[in-house]
Structures are given as structure tokens and as C-alpha cells.
């Protein structure tokens, strides 16, 4: 077995036209909000953290090395492309996902109404059962920039097993 850890944070800014925030998307689910992530790709911090967890378990270069943020190919990219690449690398090496557990830290809007759709999306992208994917939503208790709603933060751990 192998274990991987992934972490990501994206700054949240007012969405266009008043700011540079992109629409807020987490786990491929669009959340209605007046702030959104600033990022080179679509800024889906949940998919980025899962991608890095898989790559980390495989001891491969991380998401920033594989998909540099100065490469115009990834400007506004759908982050499922990154996850699918990590998944392909994983399967090519004979590994599969035993389970993954993610914590999304977001002051608002609430993550809980979207958790099931996020789980379904991620399970579908990875070709695994929904019972292997867990999402937890937490606030940052109004503390620091995350708690003031200026960033979204995601932590992921993943366990790989021989396919």
C-alpha cells in the first residue's frame, strides 16, 4: 500500500467584473458565491489537492511541476484534466485507490449541501465507487484570512493499494 497527502489553497476574490475571481468550483461542482478563486486553471482546489495526493503517493512530480502556471495550455483549464492525468499515471503503475478522505475549509457558502455531488463527481472521474470517497466541510471559525472568507483550503489523504 501507499499513502499520499495533498494540500491546496486558493485566494478568493470578488468575481468578475468587480474582481479577478473565477466562478467557485469545488470537486467539479459550481457553488453560487460572490467570491471565487484566483488561479491559472479553473481554481478547483479540491481536485488539485486530490491530484497532488495521488502524485505524492506515487512519488511523482507535483501538480505545479506537471502543469506549470506559466503554461498557456492550462489557462482556465478544467481541473479534471489534472486529476485524470494523475489517475492514468497511477493505473499505469499498477495502483488503485482504496479510499480518499478530503477536508474542505471554506467559511461560506456551506459545503455540506454539495458534498454528495462532489463525491459522485470525484468517484466518477477516478472510476471508483462513491463509498471510497469522503468529503468533509468545515469553516475556519472566522479566524484569519480563511475564516474571513478570503481563501479556500483543502486537505486530502489517499490510500493506494495494488490493483
Q: Tell which positions 41-100 bind Mg ion, by CB under 5 A.
A: 48
- State whether the Cα torsion 136-93-121-62 is positive or negative: positive
Q: Is 22 in the site for Mg ion (CB under 5 A)?
A: no
Measured from the CB of residue 86, what is the shortest distance to Mg ion in angstroms? 13
Distance CA(136)–CA(153), nearest Å, equals 12
Q: Which is nearer to Mg ion, 15 or 98 (CB)?
A: 15
* Smallest separation, CB 129 to Mg ion (Å): 26
Give the residue carrying C-alpha cell 501507499.
Answer: 2
Which window, 1-9, 16-24, 116-124, 135-143, contacts Mg ion (CB under 5 A)?
Answer: 1-9
End-to-end CA distance of the chain: 10
Number of residues counted as binding Mg ion (CB under 5 A):
2
Q: How far is the CB of 143 from Mg ion (least distance, A)?
A: 22
The residue among 19 and 93 lying less far from Mg ion, judged by its C-beta, is: 19
Nine-digit cell string for 72? 498557456
Kindly state whether residue 8 participates in binding Mg ion, applying the rule CB under 5 A. yes
**Joined grid coordinates for residue 145:** 484570512
**Helices of type H across 71-148:** 80-92, 115-126, 144-147
Q: What are the residues binding Mg ion (CB under 5 A)? A: 8, 48
Amino acid at each position: 500500500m501507499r499513502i499520499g497527502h495533498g494540500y491546496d489553497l486558493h485566494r478568493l476574490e470578488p468575481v468578475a467584473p468587480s474582481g479577478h475571481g473565477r466562478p467557485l468550483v469545488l470537486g467539479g461542482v459550481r457553488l453560487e458565491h460572490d467570491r471565487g478563486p484566483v488561479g491559472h486553471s479553473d481554481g478547483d482546489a479540491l481536485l488539485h489537492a486530490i491530484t497532488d495526493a495521488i502524485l505524492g503517493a506515487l512519488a511523482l512530480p507535483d501538480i505545479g511541476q506537471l502543469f506549470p502556471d506559466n503554461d498557456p495550455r492550462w489557462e482556465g483549464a478544467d481541473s479534471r484534466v489534472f486529476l485524470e492525468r494523475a489517475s492514468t499515471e497511477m493505473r499505469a503503475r499498477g495502483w488503485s485507490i482504496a479510499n480518499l478522505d478530503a477536508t474542505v475549509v471554506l467559511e461560506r457558502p456551506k459545503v455540506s449541501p454539495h458534498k454528495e455531488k462532489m463525491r459522485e463527481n470525484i468517484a466518477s472521474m477516478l472510476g471508483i465507487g462513491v463509498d471510497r470517497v469522503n468529503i468533509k466541510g468545515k469553516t475556519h471559525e472566522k479566524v484569519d484570512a480563511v475564516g474571513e472568507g478570503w481563501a479556500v483550503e483543502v486537505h486530502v489523504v489517499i490510500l493506494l493499494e495494488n490493483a
